[in-house]
A and B are shown apart, each in its own frame.
Chain A
Amino acid sequence: EVQLAESGGGLVKPGESLRLSCVGSGFTFSHAWMSWVRQAPGKGLEWVGRIKSTTDGGTTDYAAPVKGRITISRDDSKNTLYLQMSSLKTEDTAVYYCSTGSRRSGTMSPPFDYWGQGTLVTVSS
């Protein structure tokens, strides 16, 4: 059974930094493209960024609102995905999910078959 477990959320002040972690199990983590998705309270889903599998280059892509303030990385030896966030703003307040999926024919990027339970980040003074 695929499991994703996020941790590291909490209450921080504007301008501070925070690192989230996501541990995966039940699948070959090193082969997986991993994404972070966030959801502000009462709002919709917003893709934050992703990291490709190491075998596919391990490159990262980020959404415009967070580009330059976040870094996504992975440690395949620990089956762990990271989201390092800096210069946090009140509008970064959200539940942060890690997600992954199985590649289907016709596309390199997978849809999001699997989601963690999320970790809440609250940015407030």
Chain B
Amino acid sequence: EIVLTQSPGTLSLSPGERATLSCRASQSVSSSSLAWYQQKPGQTPRLLIYGASSRATGIPDRFSGSGSGTDFTLTISRLEPEDFAVYYCQQFGSSPLTFGGGTKVEIK
């Protein structure tokens, strides 16, 4: 099983700041099979990034993904008020599919 470890657990930032979220895999993950999701309280998860760096439909370009192998990053270039949420990485190429534990981006 591929274990995904996200860091930090919580990120305290102000609107307008840059957020950098990390996702580290216990073994190599195909970039094609790495995704990022956003979940706000009381809402269902929303796909942000797939293929490590491709934005899903309707996702603003302030969200970007990068990385390969075992290290992946989600960057939010300038935080908007609606971006404060929990973010999960996921690998969906190898069974069992797995999610990281999540990073909460909170308002400082």
State the A residues within 8 Å of B (CB): 35, 37, 44-47, 50, 61-64, 97, 101, 104-107, 109-113, 115-118
Complex: how many Å from CA A125 to CA B91?
A: 35
Q: B99 → chain A, closest Cβ, in Å?
A: 4
Q: Which residues of A contact B86 (CB under 8 A)?
A: 44
B30 near A44: Cβ-Cβ < 8 Å:
no
Q: Which residues of B pack against A, CB within 8 Å?
A: 1, 30-33, 35, 37, 39, 44-47, 50-51, 54, 56-57, 86, 88, 90, 92-93, 95-102
Please state if B45 and A62 are interface contacts (CB–CB under 8 Å): no
The answer to whether B96 and A64 touch across the interface, beta carbons within 8 angstroms, is yes
Q: Are A105 and B97 in contact (CB under 8 A)?
A: no
CB pair A107 B95 closer than 8 Å: no
- A111 and B96 within 8 A (CB): no
Contact of A61 among B93, B95, B99, B102 (CB under 8 A): B95
Question: Are A47 and B97 neighbours in the complex by a CB distance under 8 Å?
Answer: yes
Counted as pairs of residues, one from A and one from B, with CB atoms less than 8 Å apart, the total is 76
Q: How far is the CB of B79 from chain A (nearest CB, A)?
A: 21
B88 touches A45 (CB 8 A): yes
Known interface pairs A44-B101, A45-B99. Does A111 touch B30 (Cβ–Cβ under 8 Å)?
Answer: no
B30 x A106 contact (CB < 8 A): yes
Question: Considering the chains assembled together, what is the distance between the CA atoms of A31 and B13 in angstroms?
Answer: 42
From B30, B57, B97, A35 is in contact (CB under 8 Å) with: B97
B residues near A47, Cβ cutoff 8 Å: 90, 96-99
**Chain A residues whose CB sits within 8 angstroms of the CB of B47 once the complex forms:** 101, 111-113
Q: Which residues of B contact A45 (CB under 8 A)?
A: 37, 39, 45, 88, 90, 99, 102
Give which listed residue, A44, A97, A113, contacts B102 with CB less than 8 A. A44
Could you tell me the distance between the alpha carbons of A46 and B88 in the complex, rounded to whole angstroms? 11
Cα–Cα distance between A124 and B1 once the two chains are bound (Å): 30
Interface centre among A107, A116, A118, by most B CB within 10 Å?
A: A107
Nearest-Cβ distance from residue A56 to partner chain B, whole angstroms:
13
Q: 4 closest pairs, A vs B, by CB? A: A106-B32, A111-B50, A111-B35, A61-B95
Residues of B within 8 A of A107 (CB): 30, 32-33, 51, 92-93
Give bound CA distance, A101 to B92, whole Å. 11
